[in-house]
Structures are given as C-alpha cells and as structure tokens.
Structure 1
Amino acid sequence: MRVFDEYSQKYDEWYEKPFGRSAFELELTCLKGLFEGGLSLEVGVGSGRFAQALGIRYGVDTSMELLKIARRRGTFGILAKAEELPFKEGTFKTVLMVVSICFFEDPIQAFKEARRVLKREGSLLLGLVLSESPWAEFYRRKSQEGHPIYQHARFYSYNELRYMLEKAGFRIDTVRTTLFDEPQDVKPVKDRRIEDGYYPDGGFFCVRAI
C-alpha cells in the first residue's frame, strides 16, 4: 500500500514514543503467551518489530520501504500480498498477523492463504483491534480527521472475525484481551492487565485459530 511507503519512517518511529513503546511491550507479551514458535511467517510484517521480538524469520508486506526496515532487523522480507503468499503448502508452524487484517483487500482469502501455507498442526495468530472496542472508535475518529493511515483501515467485529476464520477453515482456539486504558496515543499505558477471554472494553485482542 503506497501510504505505508510514504510514511514508513514515521510509522516505525511511532514505536519509540512513550505510548507506542509501552503499547508494543504489552501487545508483545499478550502474543507471546499464544505463540507456538517453529518456522513462522508474519503477514503484514511492517517494519519487523514483532517478527524480530518473536524470532520470526520470514515476512511479507506490500510496502517495500517497510520491508527494508524489517530486513535490517533480521527478517527475510518479501514484497507480496496477504491474498497471494509466495510459499508452498504446509511450510510454516505459525502464521502471525498483527494489526494488519484491517488493511487487507480480502481478509477471507488472506486467511485461506494462511491455512494453505500452514502445516497441518499449525496455527494462525492474530493481534488486532475489534470494532466493538472503544479503541476502534478512537481510530475511526482519527480517520475522519484525515489521518493518512487510519483512513484505509476497516475494523471487524468479533463475530465477523469468527465468521471469516470459519469460512477459511479455521476455528478460534484461544482469545486474550489487553489494553484496558482509556483510548489515547501520547502517554505510556498504565493498565498492564492481560485477561484470558474476549472483553469488548479492551483495546488489543490476541486470537489463536487452528
């Protein structure tokens, strides 16, 4: 997506700011609890921060500028769409997607491709904002105000997510919820809770599907 090429540096630098740094640490902890390791792929790898922290060697993205940053962090990045993954069937133990399905052209096809490249005993791990969350409303307001990235985002409900996963041959195995602070993006996160289960008043949801 062209907007990510244009704003690649600002996108990556966001993670160095007080809120971005603390949110990343919390989201990473949430994902780690569900990450099964093995040979893994991140779809929508961005600048490679999650892949680097989780030891994921391979990533795809539609932004060449973000892939350049990811490669400097040790991820072998390939320019490709989530709906057309350039890998053989049954290659990976885990496929990770973090805050990326809201930018996919066709999430169901992206999930089908994830299932195709996963080993039979593999899992799909998602980190995302769901539309019921107050954080989704916060980002929607940013979109209405002209934010260059959130203008392109579409947030899905938990039921929509479950439906799309089932259409692609997955079922939800585990859900965890975190980021219970009031929505803002300046100050460090105060509430460090990570709860097992789906809580719509949270801001970040970790979903493992098998």
Structure 2
Amino acid sequence: MGDVFERFVNEYEQWFLKHRLAYLSELRAVKALLPEGRGVEIGVGTGRFAVPLRIKIGVEPSRHMGEIARKRGILVVKGTAEDLPLGDESFDFALMVTTICFVDDPLKALQEARRVIKNGGHVIVGIVDRESFLGREYEERREKSLFYKHARFFSTEEIVHLMKKAGFEDFRMVQTLFKHPSKLTDVEPVREGHGEGAFVVVRGKKN
C-alpha cells in the first residue's frame, strides 16, 4: 500500500494545490483539537499538516514522501504506524490525519500511538467519515482513485470504538467540510461533534 504513495507522490501533492480550501479547512479542524507539547505525526507524508502545525517529528514509510517532508524541515523517521521506531512515552501527543484508513492493522496502530505518548497525552485522528456525503462518494468511486482503492473507510463511531479498544478515553470531536471540496469558495467552519461534516477529527486521552 505504501508503494502507491511512493509512486504517485506528485499526484498526492497536486490534491492539496487543487483543493486548497478543503485542505485549509481540514487543517483548521485538526488545529482546534491539537494540544500543547511535543508531538509526532504518524504517516507524516510530505509534511502538509506537520509543518503548519509546528510538529517537528514524523513517521513515514514512503521514502519519496519522507524526502519532501525533510526538505520542509521535518525530522522524518522511516517506519510504519503498527511498529513505531519511537521510545515509550516520548511524546505529549500523536497525530494521524487520514492515515488510519491506509494502515494494515488500525488497532495495532492506535495501540502503538498510545505506547509512545505520555500518561495524560492525546491521540488525534482525522478521517473522512464513511457515513458522510464525501465518504459515500469516495466508496463509490474507489476503483477509479489512485489512492482510495487501497483505503478502508471508517465511520466516526468505528474510530471511537477502535480508540476505546486501544485504551483511550475522554473523547472530543470536531467536524468540517459541509460542502463538497470542489464547491468551496472559502475555508469551512469547524463545529463540535460529527454527523454533518465530511471531515471529522477525534481526540482521545491516555489516562
């Protein structure tokens, strides 16, 4: 699966340029739940989220994507979400933006995220909600997509269930993208909860 991101890194980068307002909306939603402290982004990609969010360290399996993130100032560690090459309790938070739908073992990835964050720290997971208008569209068109044909989409409830199984609690969530990315004329608002917006960010705490 990582091979897709290795081969189509230019197409990946183009998405952010073409859908800049959707990207900025997602960024705003993630920022709304981002705690203070030292963080790591798991599945840092080319650094599109880590850089503006001032996250200095990222884990990424794709060599090509990791190189771009390094050029943007991120310390990139090569590795997978299920086997993080990071020490126990070494971060205040771990961020995963649309990463969980591409990992082989989502529960193991969340357990690993829990291992590397301190007690009282958080994991923040951003997804395109499968139950949303955009999630349904992506599901229907997945075979025609370079990336999403390899994805497994989750509902917000499924993500919370997985996070609970991994040992997280005290959940908070926000949502954005109330219109289709192709129809945006401005950055979308961020609202509490889920069920309306296509992009949902869920934060859980390690107690």
2:192 corresponding residue in structure 1: 196
Structure 2 Cα separation of the partners of residues 49 and 159 of structure 1: 26
Equivalent AA in structure 2 for residue 68 of structure 1 = E
Equivalent AA in structure 2 for residue 124 of structure 1 = V
2:55 corresponding residue in structure 1: 56
Structure 2 Cα separation of the partners of residues 142 and 75 of structure 1: 33
Cα displacement (A) at 1:189: 4.8
Q: Check 1:151–1:172 CA distance in 2 against 1; reply closer, same or farther (3 A cut).
A: farther
Equivalent AA in structure 2 for residue 159 of structure 1 = E
What is the TM-score when the length of structure 1 is the normalising length? 0.92
Equivalent AA in structure 1 for residue 140 of structure 2 = R
1:47 corresponding residue in structure 2: 46
Secondary structure of 2:36 counterpart: coil
Cα displacement (A) at 1:23: 0.9
Listed one character per residue, the Cα deviations across residues 40-90 of structure 1 (whole Å, up to 9, x for unaligned) are 100011110100001101111121111111111111112211000001100
Cα displacement (A) at 1:193: 2.2
1:10 corresponding residue in structure 2: 11
2:146 corresponding residue in structure 1: 148
**Are the counterparts in 2 of residues 180 and 191 from structure 1 also a CA contact under 8 Å?**
no
Structure 1 Cα separation of the partners of residues 62 and 189 of structure 2: 33
Secondary structure of 1:59 counterpart: strand
Q: Check 1:192–1:3 CA distance in 2 against 1; reply closer, same or farther (3 A cut).
A: same
Unaligned runs of 5+ in 1: none
1:67 corresponding residue in structure 2: 66
Unaligned runs of 5+ in 2: none
Cα displacement (A) at 1:190: 4.5
1:161 corresponding residue in structure 2: 159
Cα displacement (A) at 1:13: 2.2
1:18-57 residue pairs with structure 2 within 5 A? 20-57=19-56
Secondary structure of 2:37 counterpart: coil
Cα displacement (A) at 1:173: 2.0
Structure 1 Cα separation of the partners of residues 39 and 11 of structure 2: 27
Cα displacement (A) at 1:101: 0.4
**Are the counterparts in 2 of residues 41 and 58 from structure 1 also a CA contact under 8 Å?**
yes
Task: Detail structure 1 runs of 4+ shifted over 6 Å in the superposition.
Answer: none
What is the TM-score when the length of structure 2 is the normalising length? 0.94
| Pairing 1:170–2:171 present | no
Structure 2 Cα separation of the partners of residues 125 and 189 of structure 1: 27
Q: Check 1:67–1:192 CA distance in 2 against 1; reply closer, same or farther (3 A cut).
A: same
1:78-117 residue pairs with structure 2 within 5 A? 78-117=77-116
Across the aligned residues of Structure 1 and Structure 2, the Cα RMSD in angstroms comes to 1.4
Structure 2 Cα separation of the partners of residues 172 and 134 of structure 1: 27
**Are the counterparts in 1 of residues 24 and 187 from structure 2 also a CA contact under 8 Å?**
no
Aligned length: 204
Secondary structure of 1:33 counterpart: helix
**Are the counterparts in 1 of residues 40 and 55 from structure 2 also a CA contact under 8 Å?**
yes
Secondary structure of 1:163 counterpart: helix
**Are the counterparts in 2 of residues 60 and 80 from structure 1 also a CA contact under 8 Å?**
yes
